[in-house]
Amino acid sequence: MISSPLKLGFLASGNGSSARAIAAAIQADGLAAQARLLVSNNKSAPALAFAAEMDVPALYVPTQGDPAAADARLAEAMAGHGVELIVLSGYLRQLGPQTLGRYAGRILNIHPGPLPEFGGHGMYGRRVHEAVIAAGVAESGICIHLVDEEYDRGPVIARMAVPVMAGDTAETLEVRVTGLEPGFFVETLCRIARGEIVL
């Protein structure tokens, strides 16, 4: 059961843009939540430095050498910090069975294109926008979905349409979508905290 204030854990491999926006919303009393832990699989991730600046506990958990041990450590760390809901913020590793099992139905990811059409293994970042442009569709979108053992397959809980403009390239579409993602993640978490979205 997810309680309010939301007890959030974050996973980030790089900048952690959504995590930053969410932490800022918490500090500004715009989101009923607590940032309990940020974990990265990248020792030099800017998200780790940001977490230190914001007094959010942070942990580096390498995943390449022993993925099973990393999975166990990640699940234990999240539970040990009282995390009830995990937010993926540009985390470029697939989660293991212990974390997925302990947090089933309570791990959220944001995807920069319509699902399921523009998701799946290898579909992240600019590749998504290139595929959207190549498909010639009139509308892209942002999807927040639950995470399971397959990339981008979990149920979508919130969508935001993003029109494809005349003359758009993958680069221009990416800039527009990326600019909207953090605020949409905050808005969706607010709806979860108010009980409007039930996980």
pLDDT value of residue 2 = 80
Domain residues for the domain of 137 are 6-193
The answer to whether the beta carbons of residues 173 and 164 sit under 8 Å apart is yes
pLDDT exceeds cutoff 80 at 1: no
The answer to whether the beta carbons of residues 115 and 148 sit under 8 Å apart is no
- 88 lies in some domain: yes
Q: Which of 111, 121, 129, 145 is catalytic?
A: 111
Q: In sequence order, what DSSP letters do the residues of 40-76 get, joined into one string?
A: ES-TT-HHHHHHHHTT--EEE---SS-HHHHHHHHHH
- 14 lies in some domain: yes
pLDDT value of residue 3 = 78
pLDDT band at 195 (very low <50, low <70, confident <90, very high): very high
Q: Is 111 a catalytic residue?
A: yes
- 198 lies in some domain: no
- 111 lies in some domain: yes
CATH code: domain of residue 114: 3.40.50.170
Tally of domains in the chain: 1
- 199 lies in some domain: no
- 100 lies in some domain: yes
pLDDT exceeds cutoff 80 at 64: yes
Q: How many residues are there in the chain?
A: 199
Q: Tell me the pLDDT tens digit for each residue of 103-147.
A: 999 999 999 999 999 999 889 999 999 999 999 999 999 999 999
Strands laid side by side in the 58-60 sheet:
58-60, 33-40, 6-11, 85-88, 107-111, 139-146, 156-163
- 1 lies in some domain: no
Give 90's DSSP letter.
Answer: S
